[in-house]
Amino acid sequence: MLKGLLFDLDGVLADTAQYHLLAWRELAERLNIDLPAAADADLRGRSRLDSLNLLLQYGHELEQFSAAEKASLMAEKNRHYQALVKRLTPQALLPGIADLLAAAQADGVMMAVASSSQNAPLILDQLGIADYFAGVADPTKVHQGKPAPDIYQAAQALLGLDADEVIGFEDAPAGVAAIKAAGQFAVGIGDDWVLRAADIIVPTTAELNYGQLKQAFNAD
Ligand code: G6P
Ligand code: MG
């Protein structure tokens, strides 16, 4: 029986994934690293450090930076990201999300956030949706980032539920992999092929319908 919904934040609840990518691309440019178009899907959902390591790998520069230098590069990216999201309002909620959250709440289903982003609490406040969530899993407290299952397991534990009682929502291949590794039901939002490991895939959040999702989950 469906008892909980676990949400990724960037690219699922809000239109913020583009700002992360923009900030990473700006850093790559400053370091003279050429990021291929495929890097966008690859970077989505990864923790701050995993994202930086991936970016440096693209430039074959992974070995060239000390831990202290990496910390300063991550701080630089985060400053840029925070400047980009400073004026975020509830307008940045993706289409269909407000209805989905309201419908799930009305049905007595609990919700939690399973984002890799340390900025998640701040963004949820800016979006005006923090009160919908019984918990926000802390990405700094998990052992491994997505695609490992840890953050989805942590969000599920915050709700006190079992893996077969929850649905996870993701826009990133690493995130869908994390949900499936946690043994949960995965809804992918985006490209069919990129997110093929998900149980259900919709092209955009506008196609998310609580009643239909519940039916598909129960039929599984
Ligand atoms: C999310 C985003 C990633 C971002 C990660 C860490 O999962 O999809 O693009 O790198 O969070 O975000 P943070 O705000 O902690 O740097
Ligand atoms: Mg995402």
Model confidence pLDDT, tens digit, residues 154-195:
999 999 999 999 999 999 999 999 999 999 999 999 999 999
Confidence of residue 220 (pLDDT cuts 50, 70, 90): confident
The CATH T-level fold of domain 4-15+89-219 is: Rossmann fold (3.40.50)
Q: Please report which confidence band the pLDDT of residue 86 belongs to, taking 50, 70 and 90 as the band edges.
A: very high
Residue 19 pLDDT > 90: yes
Nearest CA owner, ligand 1 atom 9: 44
Strands (E), 3-42: 4-7
Residue 52 in this model has a pLDDT that exceeds 90: yes
| Percentage of residues of the chain with pLDDT beyond 90 | 96
* Unique residue bearing structure tokens 């009643």: 211
Domain assignments of the chain as residue spans, ordered by start: 4-15+89-219, 17-85
DSSP state, residue 166: E
Ligand 1: which atom is nearest the Cα of residue 43? 9
Whether 8 sits among the annotated catalytic residues: the reply is: yes
Q: Count H helices, E strands: the chain? A: 9, 6
pLDDT at 209: 97
Nearest ligand to the CA atom of 190: 2
Give the per-residue pLDDT at 12: 98
Burial of 57 (0-12, 13-18, 19+ CB in 10 A): middle
- The 10s digit of each residue's pLDDT in 113-138 is 999 999 999 999 999 999 999 999 99
Q: Report the pLDDT value the prediction gives residue 63, as an integer from 0 to 100.
A: 84
In this prediction, residue 61 carries a pLDDT of 83
Nearest CA to ligand 1 atom 13: 117
Query: What's the mean pLDDT in 90-103?
Result: 97
1 Cα: distance to centroid of ligand 1 (angstroms)? 31
Q: Does the structure's ipTM exceed the value 0.95?
A: yes
The yes-or-no answer on residue 34 being catalytic is no
| Res. 77: pLDDT tops 90 | yes
The reported pLDDT for the residue numbered 62 is 80
Q: What are phi and psi of 114, to 5 degrees?
A: -125, 65
CATH architecture of 17-85: Orthogonal Bundle (1.10)
Please say if the pLDDT value at position 149 is more than 90: yes
More confident position, 63 or 116: 116
